Amino acid sequence: MKMIKKTEKNGAYTERLKRILDDDVSDIDSSEILNAAYDSLEAGDIDDARDLFLININMDGHSEDSLNGLAIALCENGEPEKALVVIKKAVELYGDDAITLANMGTILAENGKFSESVEYYEKSISADPYSSETYLGLIDLYVMFGNPAMAFLSCRRAQEALPDDPDIKETMAQILIEIAASL
C-alpha cells in the first residue's frame, strides 16, 4: 500500500514539474528544482515557486534553502501566517544561519511582530555582520514603524561594518533628509 501511494505521489510530482518547467524532468535533481524555484520567485511566479519548493522539500528533505524559499513564497503570496510556521521550522533546524534569521525577522514584521522582528534581525547581524541586506532590512523596519532615530543608529552601524557599500550610503542620505524634514 505504501509503495503505491509513493509511486502515485512521485507521478504527481513529475506531472507538476512538467507543467511548471515545460521540459523533460526524468533526470532532474533537487538542486535544479531549487534553482527553478528561486528563478520563479524572482520572476514573480509565486504559485510555481511555492510548488517547486514543496516538491524539493518532499524529494530532498528540509534544506535551509527550501524552507527559506517556501517561507518567502508564502509571504509573497499573502500568507504570512503560513510563512511564519515554515520559517519557524527553518530556525529550529538552522538557527545559526544568518539568512534564515533575517528571513524570520522579515516574516515576523509581516505578521506585525515588531520587537521580535528586530530581535531576529539583530541575531542575523551577529551571525553575519557584513550582510548589507540584513542591515537594510532592519533599517527599513525602523523606518516602517516610525523610528527614524533607530534607523539612523542602525545605518551608522552598517556604515562602520560596510563603509563602501553604496546602498548603505544612499540609505543614510535618505534617513538624514527625512530627519531634517521632520525638524
Answer yes or no: are the C-beta atoms of 133 and 98 closer than 8 Å. Answer: no
| 10 and 52 co-located in one domain | yes
> What is the distance of C-alpha 70 from the center of its chain?
8
| 54 and 124 co-located in one domain | yes
Number of Cβ within 10 Å of residue 138's Cβ equals 27
Residue 2: the pLDDT is 25
Answer yes or no: are the C-beta atoms of 38 and 49 closer than 8 Å. Answer: yes
| 160 and 82 co-located in one domain | no
Residue 16: the pLDDT is 56
Which parts of the chain sit beneath pLDDT 50?
1-11, 13
Rg of the chain's alpha carbons, rounded to an integer? Answer: 19
Residue 21: the pLDDT is 59
Using DSSP, state whether 3 is helix, strand or coil. helix
| 38 and 117 co-located in one domain | yes
Q: End-to-end distance of the chain based on CA atoms, in angstroms?
A: 71
| 145 and 69 co-located in one domain | no
Q: Give residues with Cβ within 8 angstroms of 166, minimum separation 6.
A: none
Instruction: Please provide the average confidence, as pLDDT, over all residues in the chain.
Output: 86
CATH number at residue 70: 1.25.40.10
Residue 9: the pLDDT is 42
pTM, two decimal places: 0.82
| 32 and 96 co-located in one domain | yes
Domain count along the chain: 2
- Alpha carbon distance 22, 35 (integer Å): 15
Amino acid at 2: K
| 38 and 100 co-located in one domain | yes
Residue 176: the pLDDT is 94
| 121 and 142 co-located in one domain | no
pLDDT tens, 162-172? Answer: 999 999 999 99
Q: Which domain holds residue 180?
A: 130-183
pLDDT tens, 148-164? Answer: 999 999 999 999 999 99
